Amino acid sequence: MSKLYELATLAFPLLSTAQVAQAVRDWVSAPDAEGHALGCWRTEIGPLGRLLVLRRFDDDAALAKERRRALMSANPFNAGSLITALEMDSYAPFPFLPPMQDEANDTVYEFRTYRLKPGGLAETLAGWEAAIGPARAYTAHLRINMYALEGALRITHAWGFESLAERASLRKAAYAEGVWPPRGGPENILEALSTIALREA
């Protein structure tokens, strides 16, 4: 199977961000840790008091081993005494997109999760693949899109921008040109959640 991703969400009291972020950095860089850390972001608009931790794994075995490490730990992510909730979700990447790579000028990130109608993933994938090129001015800011491997049928995508103003301008232009949203995309969305986040590590 192609590379897999895990998006972990840690909830904590608002004044604990720095402590939790340092604990996460130590956890994902530990000698026995599996996977490649892609980033850690604190939420700024949306549910507050959250860290989003994204990692890439070479295969199912590596992801499963790392998941067990967290599940069996009395101090998951080295932050057990600080966090109030922990969610770990497994994803597969959209097969036509490159691996996640950040740009140096990414300051503001948007994480969007769409819960899809049953049976809607194939049409969603096809629509996105067709729209990526025509909407290049906007989709150049797409850092990753992936679909969940368990739980509710959903996709999660992350975008990077210089500012919220740049995000709004690019989205407005793509909509006006008729190149976005992807055909077959909105028709398959049951719920949509957007979170604005800033990089912590």
Tens digit of pLDDT for each residue in 12-70? 999 999 999 999 999 999 999 999 999 999 999 999 999 999 999 999 999 999 999 99
Instruction: State whether 124 and 145 are in the same domain.
Output: yes
Give the helix/strand (H/E) hosting 51: strand 50-57
Instruction: State whether 125 and 167 are in the same domain.
Output: yes
What pLDDT was estimated at residue 65?
97
Q: Which of 92, 122, 137 is the last residue of a domain?
A: 92
Q: Supply the DSSP string of 146-195, one letter for each residue.
A: EEESSSSSEEEEEEEES-HHHHHHHHHHHHHHT--SPTTSGGGEEEEEEE
Instruction: State whether 110 and 72 are in the same domain.
Output: no
Angle at 23 between CA 22 and CA 25, to 5 degrees: 65
Give the helix/strand (H/E) hosting 39: strand 36-45
Count of CB atoms situated within 10 Å of the CB of 94: 19
Q: Which of 43, 61, 92 is the last residue of a domain?
A: 92
The closest of 136, 148, 123, 141 to 180, measured between CA atoms, is: 136
Query: Domain containing 138: what range?
Result: 95-199
Instruction: State whether 88 and 139 are in the same domain.
Output: no
What pLDDT was estimated at residue 121?
98
Residue 91: DSSP 8-state? E
SS3 61: helix
What pLDDT was estimated at residue 147?
98
Tens digit of pLDDT for each residue in 99-132? 987 777 899 999 999 999 999 999 999 999 999 9
For residue 56, the domain's CATH number is 3.30.70.100
State pTM to two decimals. Answer: 0.95
Beta carbons of 160 and 108 less than 8 angstroms apart: yes
Separation between Cα atoms, residue 144 and residue 155, nearest integer Å: 10
Please, is 69 exposed, middle or buried when counting C-beta atoms within 10 Å of its C-beta (0-12, 13-18, 19+)? middle
Instruction: State whether 116 and 57 are in the same domain.
Output: no
Instruction: State whether 173 and 115 are in the same domain.
Output: yes
Q: Which of 63, 92, 121 is the last residue of a domain?
A: 92
Residue 157 has pLDDT above 80, yes or no: yes
What pLDDT was estimated at residue 201?
65
Count of CB atoms situated within 10 Å of the CB of 99: 13
Give backbone dihedrals phi and psi of 100, rounded to 5 degrees, phi first.
-60, 130
What pLDDT was estimated at residue 104?
78
Domain count, the chain: 2
Instruction: State whether 178 and 105 are in the same domain.
Output: yes
The β-bridge partners of 194 are 112
What pLDDT was estimated at residue 105?
83
Between the two ends of the chain, the Cα-to-Cα distance in Å is: 28
